[in-house]
């Protein structure tokens, strides 16, 4: 495949794991027949952006441009584009491509593509430019229409941006495990993902208990929809809930005691991990053996379910609780995220780039 014509856009990038993010210029392809060109208005800041920028998962190519909670306005479409037109308000999440032929892709589960995560919005491989994909901390992005989502018209656009990752990553496992009325559901960690999990689990009718290391977040957790709040460092509070949960979603970004969380599950209960800490989390056998508990993981969500989640949020008026920042505040935002000091998602106002 020959390289398509390109143009330059402003971005924020990092040249190395230990370097801060700074202004840069990157290339985007001129829209091809099935491409949608998007002027980015807001981009959410996911903890994955930080893991990736600092190469904590070990697969970052530099210079790296994070950002996969993208909302913006269509500025051009290729001749073959059917679903979008100039002026539409659209979203792009964690995926911009996949093989589209394997069983997972054909089932609309592009995040589990047999070829791996080659189509990541960042950290993937751009087959047109034969280069690493570059994410949403940028003025514009060009994406094939099958990976572009329609934003509900009634939602605040900045607050809706985090739905593209934090939203779908929590919605998908809660749906997969059929969380609903009569279920006691735990959410571990009140950050970007955790606060969306609380909102969705509540909207699905479950009894929601939030586990936090930050006692000062209790009132917020209740306002966001939790029925109960447990400080996970308090053994007495933890013991009071032992063996009582149907389902737990673990959205913690760092090392923590997974076994203490597993012990909260009742017979046949499941703990799904969405957090992706840098280092392995030790799991003891007995918390799983006792009560036939299971531990699983879940990765973002496919395109059809992401659209379903956005439509659900439109119908129910669900968005993220955000703090809007300027592009040049990104390094400070990362430091605050590491201190669990985010209420509850940073979103970059892209006109400040």
Residue with Cβ nearer ligand NAP (81 or 226): 226
CB atoms within 10 A of CB 320: 26
Q: Residue 191 CA to chain centroid, in angstroms? A: 11
Binding-site ranges for Zn ion (CB under 5 A): 46, 48, 98-99, 102, 105, 113, 165
Residue with Cβ nearer ligand NAP (268 or 341): 341
CB of 218 to Zn ion, least distance (A): 25
CA pair distance 6, 228, nearest whole angstrom: 52
237 interacts with, out of ligand NAP, Zn ion, none, CB within 5 to 8 A per kind: none
Spell 62-98 as b/e; 16+ CB within 10 A means b: ebbbbbbbbbbbbeebbeebeebeeebbbbbbbbbbb
Residue with Cβ nearer ligand NAP (124 or 189): 189
Residue with Cβ nearer ligand NAP (252 or 353): 252
CB atoms within 10 A of CB 337: 20
Binding-site ranges for ligand NAP (CB under 6 A): 46-48, 51, 165-166, 169, 189-194, 212-214, 217, 251-256, 274-277, 298-300, 337, 340, 342
CB of 322 to ligand NAP, least distance (A): 11
CA pair distance 197, 109, nearest whole angstrom: 20
124 interacts with, out of Zn ion, ligand NAP, none, CB within 5 to 8 A per kind: none
CA pair distance 144, 303, nearest whole angstrom: 12
CB of 257 to ligand NAP, least distance (A): 8
Residue with Cβ nearer ligand NAP (73 or 213): 213
325 interacts with, out of Zn ion, ligand NAP, none, CB within 5 to 8 A per kind: none
CA pair distance 24, 174, nearest whole angstrom: 38
Q: What is the DSSP letter of 172?
A: H
CB of 213 to ligand NAP, least distance (A): 3
270 interacts with, out of ligand NAP, Zn ion, none, CB within 5 to 8 A per kind: none
CB of 6 to ligand NAP, least distance (A): 29
105 interacts with, out of ligand NAP, Zn ion, none, CB within 5 to 8 A per kind: Zn ion
CB of 271 to ligand NAP, least distance (A): 13
Within 8 A by CB and 6+ apart from 208, the residues are: 185, 186, 187, 198, 201, 202, 225, 226, 227, 228
Residue with Cβ nearer Zn ion (100 or 292): 100
319 interacts with, out of ligand NAP, Zn ion, none, CB within 5 to 8 A per kind: none
Q: CA dist 206 to 52, 78, 248, 292, 346, Å?
A: 33, 44, 12, 22, 27
CB of 2 to ligand NAP, least distance (A): 34
CB 96 within 8 A of CB 119: yes
Q: Residue 186 CA to chain centroid, in angstroms? A: 19
* Cα-trace Rg, the chain: 20
191 interacts with, out of ligand NAP, Zn ion, none, CB within 5 to 8 A per kind: ligand NAP
């Amino acid at each position: 495949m020959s390289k398509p014509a390109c143009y330059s856009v402003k971005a924020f990038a990092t040249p190395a794991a230990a370097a801060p993010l700074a202004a840069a210029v990157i290339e985007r392809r001129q829209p091809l027949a099935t491409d949608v060109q998007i002027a980015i208005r807001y981009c959410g800041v996911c903890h994955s952006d930080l893991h990736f920028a600092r190469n904590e998962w070990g697969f970052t190519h530099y210079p790296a441009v994070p950002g996969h909670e993208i909302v913006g306005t269509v500025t051009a479409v290729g001749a073959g584009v059917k679903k979008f037109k100039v002026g539409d308000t659209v979203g792009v999440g964690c995926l911009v491509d996949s093989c589209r032929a394997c069983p997972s892709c054909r089932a609309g589960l592009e995040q589990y593509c047999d070829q791996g995560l080659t189509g990541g919005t960042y950290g993937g491989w751009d087959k047109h430019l034969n280069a690493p994909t570059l994410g949403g901390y940028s003025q514009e992005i060009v994406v094939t229409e099958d990976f572009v989502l329609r934003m509900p018209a009634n939602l605040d656009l900045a607050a809706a941006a985090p739905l593209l990752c934090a939203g779908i990553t929590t919605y998908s496992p809660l749906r997969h495990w059929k969380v609903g009325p009569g279920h006691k559901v735990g959410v571990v960690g009140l950050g970007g993902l955790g606060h969306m999990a609380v909102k969705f689990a509540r909207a699905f009718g479950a009894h929601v208990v939030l586990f936090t290391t930050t006692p000062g977040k209790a009132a917020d957790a209740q306002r966001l929809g939790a029925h109960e709040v447990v400080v996970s460092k308090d053994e007495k509070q933890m013991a009071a809930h032992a063996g009582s949960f149907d389902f737990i979603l673990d959205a913690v970004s760092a090392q923590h005691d997974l076994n203490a969380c597993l012990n909260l599950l009742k017979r046949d209960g499941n703990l799904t991990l969405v957090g992706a800490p840098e280092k392995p989390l030790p799991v003891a056998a007995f918390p799983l053996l006792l009560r036939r508990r299971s531990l699983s993981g879940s990765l973002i969500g496919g395109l059809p379910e992401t659209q379903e989640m956005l439509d659900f949020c439109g119908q129910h008026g669900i968005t993220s609780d955000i703090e809007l920042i300027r592009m040049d505040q990104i390094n400070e935002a990362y430091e605050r995220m590491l201190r669990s000091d985010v209420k509850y998602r940073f979103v970059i106002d892209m006109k400040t780039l």
